[in-house]
Amino acid sequence: RELEEVKLKNFLGASDIRPADDKEIYDATGVPSGYLGPIGSRIRLLADQEVTTLVNFTVGASEKNFHLQNVNHERDFKAQEIDDFRRLTKADPCPACGSSIRLVEGIEVGHIFKLGTSYSESMHAYYQDREGNERPLVMGCYGIGVSRVVAAAIEQNHDDNGIIFPAPLAPYPVTVLNLALSDPEVSGAAEKIYEELNNSGIETFIDDRDERPGIKFKDADLLGFPLRITVGKRFKENSMVEVCGRANGTTEEVGIEDVVSHVTAKLAT
């Protein structure tokens, strides 16, 4: 069994806990680490609920190189406090209903805090119970970590090329790549698309750096823009631009007059 440190920390009401090192164990008990046992111990003993059901188990003898066998709780020692301290595994039954459990990973993005009555008492915030007695409100609060939400989204939405932002979380849902800065017609089209998208309420980024196309494509993937609009020399041939989705990599050619409606529809799905 493994100790679930979060359970122990909550039980103790501690802000942080850590395992004692070998020196700390010896200084506190006079016993080398690895041999400390509960029998005859003068330190505070906490035990997991499962310990009370075990029969004839082995513990340290509180003496170097020795252990004790056939030990039983209550008969040989008694823990001062018993609670659920062990880490749950997929082999364990559900503690509530006894059914099998499935372990999944989660990401903490917010907290709920119980504040108790200290604030309500100072603010004289009371209510009347059924007997008509005034009682202070038991207060709580919650908070969502904005930066944690972004980090969680990136952790779940990325590939080898970089971030794949969900559109609602993207700093800019769209980036426009100008691949022909020296061409006035291409640059004018890129600027037109950039301005029309922003004017329609779609926050848009334009990459008009004097860099090679490959660098611009790599940076767009790295930063995770949900949609990439590429305006290159081919625009002069057919007045079409390339719209590429970051999540699925699908590419479509769209006429410049249809870009705003096309992008709006894409971001809505």
Structure confidence by residue, pLDDT tens digits, 43-63: 999 999 999 999 999 999 999
Closest CA to 221 of 162, 265, 177, 267: 162
What is the pTM for the complete model shown?
A: 0.62
Amino acid 1: pLDDT: 85
**What separation in angstroms does the CA of 204 have from each of 235, 265, 267?**
20, 15, 12
CATH of the domain at 210: 3.40.50.800
Pair (141, 184) in one structural domain: no
pLDDT of residue 181: 93
Counted domains in the chain: 3
Q: Are residues 130 and 173 in the same domain?
A: no
Do residues 176 and 137 share a domain? no
pLDDT score for 63: 95
Residue 50: inside a domain: yes
Considering the domain boundaries, does residue 155 fall inside one? no
Q: What confidence score (pLDDT) does residue 36 get?
A: 96
> Which of these, 146, 207, 150, lies nearest to 180 by C-alpha position?
207
Indicate if 210 and 250 belong to the same structural domain. Answer: yes
Return per-residue pLDDT of the chain as tens, 269 residues: 899 999 999 999 998 999 999 999 999 999 999 999 999 998 999 999 999 999 999 999 999 999 999 999 999 999 999 999 999 888 888 878 989 888 888 888 988 888 999 999 999 999 999 999 999 999 999 999 888 999 999 999 999 999 999 999 999 999 999 999 999 999 999 999 999 999 999 999 999 999 999 999 999 999 999 999 999 998 999 999 999 999 999 999 999 999 999 999 999 98
**What is the structure's pLDDT at 132?**
93
Whether the CB-CB separation of 242 and 230 falls below 8 Å is answered with yes
Please check whether residues 262 and 175 belong to one and the same domain. Answer: yes
In a domain, 13, yes or no: yes
Whether 186 is covered by a domain: the verdict is: yes
Is residue 120 included in any domain, yes or no? yes
Note down the domain range covering 213: 167-268
